[in-house]
Amino acid sequence: MTHLRNYARPRYPTPMSDFRPELATRIFTLASRDEGGARFWRIECPDWINVIPLTGAGEVVLVRQFRHGIGADTLEVPGGQMDPGDATPLEAARRELLEETGYAGDDWTPLGWVHPNPAILSNRCHSFLARGVRPVAPIRNDPNERTEVELAPLSEIPRLIGEGRITHGLVLNAFHWLLLSEKR
């Protein structure tokens, strides 16, 4: 990699604890820090996970639900945030798959992780592939969510993305990781 312009790095060994919590919700804590006359904000979240659940027939188990951020329904893969009771991202992924779809499986592969937005979000989002999933239980939504399951062949996913039917950036990340893993 060519280093074109080597500007002096800003000195930021500033510890994360310099951020003061300002407001806490069920899903994030808003924190801020003053520096050099400017105020910087960070949205502190637990890590997130998502899962590409594949049935034995090569279908992806998708979830449709209302999303308050955009005020509309979305089509996504199952996912959510790590709960205090989840020891690992994989454990959270198994739990979310079961809760949101009623599906489960035993063949899990970690695909990769991203920073959802390192400018303002503190956390990572971990993607998994779960092969051979099958329905084993009823859906168990918490009181603030309502998920419906739809199945789509894996080969249809690029079309669903291209047509704007799957628009969630972190869901696209999961399928990107899957593409990269298939190329290896």
Within 55-74, the residues that bind its own copies by CB under 8 A are 59, 66-74
Looking at beta carbons only, is 90 or 114 nearer to its own copies?
Answer: 114
Please, which of residues 119-178 interact with its own copies by CB under 8 A?
119-122, 125, 135, 139, 143-144, 146-152, 156, 158, 161-162, 167-170, 172-173, 175-176
Query: Do 75 and 165 touch, CB atoms closer than 8 A?
Result: yes
Closest approach, Cβ 49 to its own copies, in A, equals 13
Q: Coil, strand or helix: which one is 158? A: helix
Looking at beta carbons only, is 80 or 94 nearer to its own copies?
Answer: 80
What is the phi/psi pair of residue 62, to 5°? -100, 160
Closest approach, Cβ 179 to its own copies, in A, equals 7
Query: Do 138 and 59 touch, CB atoms closer than 8 A?
Result: no
Q: How many Å apart are CA 180 and CA 170, to the nearest integer?
A: 15
78 near its own copies (CB under 8 A): no
Binding-residue pattern over the window 91 to 120 for its own copies, x denoting contact by CB under 8 A: -----------x---------xxxxxxxxx
For the sheet with 29-35, list strands across it: 20-24, 29-35, 38-44
- Neighbouring C-alpha atoms within 13 Å toward the C-beta of 170: 23
Closest approach, Cβ 71 to its own copies, in A, equals 5
